């Protein structure tokens, strides 16, 4: 009897080809049915930890954007190949001694950004050496430019670096957010204020004014959106939890809401402390203005190395507009968009195209490529360095962390 049943079972198994959903037999089939009833991923036949299409789609879009931007830059370079060849000749004849003060100005930029970090850290009861904050500013800025993510990469590194040295996650994120807001506010106000002044005195025509207002308005809008969003705790909590749920669904995982809520509690606790010091943000804004001035000074030194002396306001506007374009174009290192925007801007303001291209390249060598190489060395040192201790009386004593 048992043999007959077994034979019938074998015949039916051979007669009916197994489907995808019922390919497994015995205990594996039962376990699969149980998982399918409890897990939507299993019902769809997808492993929970398997890579999903949304992530792949985002990566494909990012690479596609990089290819498009690089292709546009290459096309423009080919179209202006004569000016580019002349620019190479100008760089070969440049007085490189002017790049020494340019490098000093860039180093000062990172000292200003380190001071920006130090202000809220001091208010919250933390104390770090200036060398650590300078190195952190250098690496965070380099990562922000090398990894295109709308500023999230530099934001994430700053949060991670501070958190690894004893700053709570919420407060570290608060410091990074305040740094982002102060930088956006400084660049936007500089650009808008300069453009309005130039329009009033009649130096800049309305057509150029409307075109140049776009980057400043974009930065101002971004800063205003972030500020309004974080003012309402319930709204920010809802946005953060919704983003966490969408990310969890995209990755095929389930996460607890407690870490997000705890993070926001730390964030708003730190915000309440900083709110008692209204002058702190003004000081941060002042250092951001000085940092932008340092970048513009380095760019002006690049022009001096080529024997050019354009008006200071043209150099400042060209730098700010190019930085805004770099923030919009999400490709590694800008994909040439920074140099392209800068050269086009200066060409439209009476500067020889070849000189504009050469100055943009020299500036990027001093302000991006050299710091990027230095940041790799600093990043290795930061990874092997022990945690710093809280030195402020308001924080835990040394040895508790």
SS3 sequence, 334-361?
HHHHHHHHHHHHHHCCCCCHHHHHHHHH
Q: What is the DSSP string of 87-98?
A: HHHHHHT--GGG
**Do 61 and 90 reside in the same domain of the chain?**
no
pLDDT > 90: percent of the chain:
13
Measure the N-to-C terminal CA separation of the chain; round to a whole number of Å: 73
**Do 59 and 85 reside in the same domain of the chain?**
no
Average the pLDDT over 7-16 and give the result.
Answer: 45
In sequence order, the 6+-apart residues with CB closer than 8 A to the CB of 56 are: none
**Do 85 and 68 reside in the same domain of the chain?**
no
**Do 56 and 93 reside in the same domain of the chain?**
no
143 inside domain? yes
Q: What is the DSSP string of 288-344?
A: HHHHHHHHHHHHHHHHHHTT----HHHHHHHHHHHHHHHHHS-SGGGGGHHHHHHHH
**Do 166 and 67 reside in the same domain of the chain?**
no
Q: What is the pLDDT of residues 90-139, one digit of tens each?
A: 677 788 899 999 999 999 999 999 999 999 898 888 889 999 999 999 99
- The pLDDT, as a whole number, for residue 37 is 43
In sequence order, the 6+-apart residues with CB closer than 8 A to the CB of 372 are: 142, 145, 146
**Do 170 and 126 reside in the same domain of the chain?**
yes
**Do 68 and 187 reside in the same domain of the chain?**
no
- The pLDDT, as a whole number, for residue 66 is 57
Q: What is the pLDDT of residues 274-295, one digit of tens each?
A: 677 778 888 999 999 999 999 9
Residue 191 to residue 205: CA distance in whole angstroms: 15
Token pair, residue 383, equals 């990874």
Q: What share of the chain is helix, strand, coil (3-state, %, to 5)?
A: 80, 0, 20
Confidence of residue 357 (pLDDT cuts 50, 70, 90): confident
389 inside domain? no
Q: Which of the listed residues 38, 55, 72 is the one where a domain comes to its end?
A: 72
49 inside domain? yes
Token pair, residue 199, equals 């329009």
17 inside domain? no
- Left if phi > 0, otherwise alpha if psi is -120 to 50, otherwise beta: which for 32? alpha
Can you tell me which residue has the tokens 């991670």? Answer: 160
Q: Is the pLDDT of residue 216 over 50?
A: yes
Query: Residue 346: how many CB atoms within 10 A of its CB?
Result: 26
Q: What is the pLDDT of residues 53-77, one digit of tens each?
A: 555 565 666 566 556 655 655 665 5
Q: Which of 367, 342, 289 is nearest to 105 (CA)?
A: 367
Q: Which of 394, 334, 330 is nearest to 123 (CA)?
A: 394
The count of domains in the chain is: 2
Can you tell me which residue has the tokens 């509690």? Answer: 265
Query: Residue 301: how many CB atoms within 10 A of its CB?
Result: 24
**Do 48 and 96 reside in the same domain of the chain?**
no
Choose the most confident range, by mean pLDDT, from 143-152, 221-230, 344-353, 370-379: 370-379
Domain that holds residue 286: 80-234+276-384
Confidence of residue 179 (pLDDT cuts 50, 70, 90): confident
**Do 91 and 165 reside in the same domain of the chain?**
yes
Say which residue, 4 or 139, is predicted with more confidence.
139
1 inside domain? no
Can you tell me which residue has the tokens 């990566």? Answer: 59
pTM (global) more than 0.75: no
């Amino acid at each position: 009897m048992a043999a007959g049943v077994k034979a019938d079972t074998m015949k039916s198994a051979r007669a009916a080809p197994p489907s995808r959903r019922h390919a497994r037999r015995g205990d594996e089939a039962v376990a699969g049915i149980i998982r399918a009833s409890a897990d939507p991923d299993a019902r769809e036949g997808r492993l929970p930890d398997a890579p999903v299409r949304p992530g792949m789609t985002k990566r494909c879009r990012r690479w596609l954007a990089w290819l498009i931007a690089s292709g546009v830059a290459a096309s423009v370079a080919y179209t202006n190949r004569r000016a580019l060849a002349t620019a190479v000749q100008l760089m070969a004849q440049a007085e490189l001694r002017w790049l020494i003060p340019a490098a000093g100005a860039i180093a000062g930029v990172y000292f200003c950004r380190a001071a920006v970090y130090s202000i809220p850290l001091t208010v919250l009861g933390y104390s770090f050496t200036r060398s650590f904050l300078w190195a952190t500013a250098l690496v965070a800025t380099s990562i922000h430019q090398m990894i295109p993510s709308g500023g999230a990469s530099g934001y994430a590194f700053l949060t991670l670096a501070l958190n690894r040295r004893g700053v709570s996650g919420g407060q570290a994120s608060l410091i990074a957010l305040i740094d982002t807001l102060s930088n956006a506010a400084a660049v936007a106000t500089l650009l808008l204020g300069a453009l309005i002044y130039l329009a009033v005195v009649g130096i800049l025509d309305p057509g150029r004014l409307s075109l140049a207002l776009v980057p400043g308005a974009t930065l101002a809008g971004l800063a205003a959106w972030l500020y309004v969003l974080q003012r309402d705790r319930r709204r920010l909590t809802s946005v953060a939890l919704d983003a966490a749920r969408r990310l969890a669904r995209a990755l095929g995982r389930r996460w607890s809401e407690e870490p997000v809520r705890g993070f926001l509690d730390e964030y708003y606790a730190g915000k309440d402390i900083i709110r008692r010091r209204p002058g702190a943000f003004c000081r941060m804004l002042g250092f951001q203005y000085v940092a932008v001035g340092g970048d513009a000074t380095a760019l002006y030194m690049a022009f001096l190395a080529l024997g050019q002396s354009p008006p200071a306001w043209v150099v400042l506007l060209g730098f700010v507009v190019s930085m805004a374009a770099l923030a919009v174009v999400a490709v590694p290192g800008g994909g040439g968009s920074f140099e392209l925007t800068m050269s086009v801007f200066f060409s439209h303001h009476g500067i020889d195209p070849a000189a504009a291209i050469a100055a943009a390249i020299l500036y990027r060598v001093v302000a991006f490529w050299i710091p990027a190489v230095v940041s790799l060395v600093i990043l290795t040192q930061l990874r092997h360095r022990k945690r710093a201790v809280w030195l402020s009386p308001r924080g835990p004593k040394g040895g508790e962390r």
